[in-house]
């Protein structure tokens, strides 16, 4: 008889918990069904998480899963949709792009399928009010408007001098296939990204249901701003905590945060030109 200690047979590894099965994407709903849909248009770091949190707290279903910024995840399909549409954007040099073909050309079927896949949980939901938020939706705004002509669009803007202080994935537009004059200057790269998205929105025919809201008004005069949003959406809006110090951070910034090409939009949207 062997005196060697008998070793227990190795146990089989526990089977991995399967990831939740994602529902099969449905087709984009027709015009009548779109009337209960809401989306947020606005560049990253425009404070869009504030309105997304507010909509959710007010009973609007914004898809799942969500990250801490209330972005609908996973974003990969919408990122790829951005690249599909960007193939048809022509860079004219400097801060000029030709967006005209986007408004009349046939929408690539691949784009539509990617959007349907990204919005699976939103489209499949039976919630009375539904919507989504992802800053990169702004990069495909012209085709989103054509696919969703009847939904409600909240255009969320912020002083660009604050908007470019932090890093965002859209800082380098080439990640999404957008042609532009590249630069190693990080702040300038962010400013170009901001300018591109502003010009893209301006060039797109205004959708039927459109509300422009300044982040600063939401923070500094939330009751009045919520009233306007509530009347637009058709529900009573919940209030959320805000930080007044989030407004005007550029005033204490020591880096470059102001560019000549900001001026027109600063004036148009009621921002002061200098500290």
| Among candidate residues 116, 98, 119, the one with its CA nearest the CA of residue 107 | 116
Q: Is 60 exceeded by the pLDDT of residue 163? A: yes
Could you tell me the residue ranges of all domains in the chain? 33-268
Helix ranges restricted to H, 65-209: 76-86, 109-118, 120-124, 141-147, 160-163, 186-203
- Band (pLDDT 50/70/90 cuts) for residue 154 is very high
Q: Reduced to 3 states, what is the DSSP secondary structure of residue 88?
A: coil
Radius of gyration of the chain, Cα coordinates, nearest whole angstrom = 22
Helix ranges restricted to H, 138-269: 141-147, 160-163, 186-203, 215-220, 222-233, 263-268
Average pLDDT over all residues of the chain = 93
Residues in the chain: 275
- Band (pLDDT 50/70/90 cuts) for residue 13 is very low
- Band (pLDDT 50/70/90 cuts) for residue 29 is very high
Contact 212, 219 (CB under 8 A): no
Q: Is 80 exceeded by the pLDDT of residue 14? A: no
CATH, domain 33-268, list 3.40.50, 3.90.75, 2.40.70, 3.30.70:
3.40.50
Q: What is the dihedral of CA 140, 144, 147, 149, to 10 degrees?
A: -150
Q: Return the percentage of the chain with pLDDT > 70, whole number.
A: 92
Q: Is 90 exceeded by the pLDDT of residue 8? A: no
Contact 26, 116 (CB under 8 A): yes
Q: Is 70 exceeded by the pLDDT of residue 12? A: no
Contact 81, 141 (CB under 8 A): no
pTM of the model: 0.91
């Amino acid at each position: 008889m062997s005196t060697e200690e008998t070793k227990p047979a190795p146990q089989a590894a526990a089977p991995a918990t399967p990831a939740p099965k994602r529902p099969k994407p449905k087709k984009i709903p027709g015009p009548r069904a779109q009337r209960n849909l809401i989306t947020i248009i606005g560049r990253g770091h425009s404070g869009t998480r504030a309105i997304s949190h507010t909509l959710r707290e007010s009973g609007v279903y914004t898809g799942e899963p969500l990250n801490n910024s209330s972005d609908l995840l996973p974003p990969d399909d919408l990122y790829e949709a951005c690249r599909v549409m960007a193939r048809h954007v022509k860079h004219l040099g400097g801060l000029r792009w030709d967006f005209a073909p986007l408004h009349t050309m046939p929408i690539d079927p691949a784009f539509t399928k990617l959007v349907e896949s990204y919005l699976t949980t939103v489209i499949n939901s039976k919630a009375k009010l539904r919507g989504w938020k992802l800053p990169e939706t702004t990069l495909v705004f012209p085709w989103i408007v054509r696919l969703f002509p009847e939904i409600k669009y909240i255009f969320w803007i912020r002083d660009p001098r604050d908007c470019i202080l932090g890093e965002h994935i859209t800082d380098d537009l080439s990640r999404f296939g957008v042609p532009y004059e590249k630069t190693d200057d990080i702040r300038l790269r962010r400013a170009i990204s901001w300018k591109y998205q502003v010009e893209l929105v301006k060039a797109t025919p205004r959708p039927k249901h459109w509300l422009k809201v300044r982040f600063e008004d939401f923070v500094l005069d939330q009751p009045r701003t919520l009233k306007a949003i509530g009347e637009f959406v058709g529900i009573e809006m919940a209030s959320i905590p805000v930080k007044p110090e989030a407004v005007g951070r550029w005033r204490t910034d020591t880096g470059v945060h102001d560019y000549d090409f900001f001026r027109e939009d600063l004036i148009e949207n009621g921002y002061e030109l200098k500290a």
